[in-house]
Chain A
């Protein structure tokens, strides 16, 4: 149980385009989903927290207009990187949790490369 999928696993896009990453909880309802980013040799850094049906809460230094997060249902959250630039190239990973637990279940991540 507690499986989280992420799609795509790897994406290459041109500078200036937008990329959407999906995070799905497959066998449970996720009241809260988290989006993390990891740069090489650094730790997972929380970007934002999203609760189903409400606006995401962004961490300091994360541009909400650049990283659009939508959590429209209890099983799906999306992260859209708008007008991507090479510095947005990174590993993006989501996690999901239920209201009854602080255990977070992670997706396998998405490697984004912006050329």
Chain B
């Protein structure tokens, strides 16, 4: 059974601030780690899929890293904007061909 923990549970930053949150997992017995961005009333949107220790991915102002040896992934947002407000989900794709989700980090960016 895969365990996925995300922290913080919620985060409130001002426009322009850079921020980061954590996805941690005690076991590295998985194929891939996914980050999703989920806005209210919309479908979760895939941000990144990472598979290898040391992977770094970037999309615009958002980037992510993966450290399977120490059991964590970071998601970074540079220069937060109000449109970044969403819940960010981390999920592991494991050997049972299923996604196991964390509870998410809820980000609120205000002007």
Contacts and interface: CB of A to CB of B under 8 A. Distances in A.
Contact of B99 (A9, A41, A46, A109): A46
B102 A108 contact: no
B43 A4 contact: yes
A104 B99 contact: yes
B97 A43 contact: no
Contacts, number: 45
B32 interface: yes
A45 B1 CA distance: 13
A108 B41 CA distance: 6
B88 interface: no
Contact of B43 (A34, A42, A107): A107
B49 A44 contact: no
B42 interface: yes
Interface in A26-64: 34, 36, 41-46, 49
Given A9-B41, A107-B43, A108-B42, A49 B102 contact: no
Chain A: interface size category: 20 to 34
Interface in B35-54: 36, 41-44, 46, 49
B103 A41 contact: yes
Given A43-B102, A44-B89, A46-B99, A108 B43 contact: yes
B100 to A, nearest CB: 8
A80 to B, nearest CB: 22
Contacts of A46: 98-100
A106 interface: yes
Contact of B4 (A4, A9, A43, A95): A43
Contact of B103 (A43, A93, A104, A108): A43
Contacts of B100: 46
Q: Which 4 A-B pairs have the closest CB atoms?
A: A43-B101, A44-B101, A106-B44, A43-B103
13 contacts: A42-B103, A43-B4, A43-B101, A44-B91, A44-B99, A45-B101, A46-B98, A95-B99, A103-B49, A104-B34, A104-B99, A108-B41, A109-B43
Interface of B: 4, 31-32, 34, 36, 41-44, 46, 49, 89, 91, 93, 97-104
